[in-house]
Amino acid sequence: MKTIINPKTSEWPEILKRPTQTVNDIETTVNQIFDDVKRNGDTAISKYTTLFDGVDLEANIVSKKEIEEASTSVPEELKQAIQRAKANIEAFHGAQKTPMVQVETQKGVNCWQEKRPIEKIGLYIPGGTAPLFSTVLMLAVPATIAGCKELILCSPPNAKGSLAKEILYAAQLCGVTKIIKVGGIQAIAGLTFGTETIPAVYKIFGPGNQFVTVAKQLATKFGVAIDMPAGPSELLVVADDSANAAYVASDLLSQAEHGTDSQVLLVSTSKTLLEDVSNEIKIQIEVLPRKSIAIQAIENSKLIYVKNDDIALKLINEYGPEHFIICSKNEKVYVDGIVNAGSVFIGDYTPESAGDYASGTNHTLPTNGFSKAYSGVNLDSFTKSITFQKITKEGLVNIGSTIELMAEAEGLQAHKNAVSIRLKDLI
104 catalytic per annotation: no
Instruction: Please say if 323 is a catalytic residue.
Output: yes
Q: What distance separates the 2 farthest-apart alpha carbons in the chain?
A: 84
205: closest CA among 121, 296, 93? 121
Q: With CA atoms as reference, report the closest residue to 98 among 389, 387, 360, 385.
A: 385
Q: Is 291 exposed, middle or buried (0-12, 13-18, 19+ CB in 10 A)?
A: middle
Which of the following is catalytic: 166, 257, 322, 352? 322
Q: Given the residues 323, 363, 408, 410, select the one marked as catalytic.
A: 323
How far is the C-alpha of 232 from the C-alpha of 333, rounded, in Å?
28
* Euclidean distance between CA atoms 360 and 357, whole angstroms: 8
CB 293 within 8 A of CB 260: yes
Which residues are known catalytic residues? Answer: 322-323
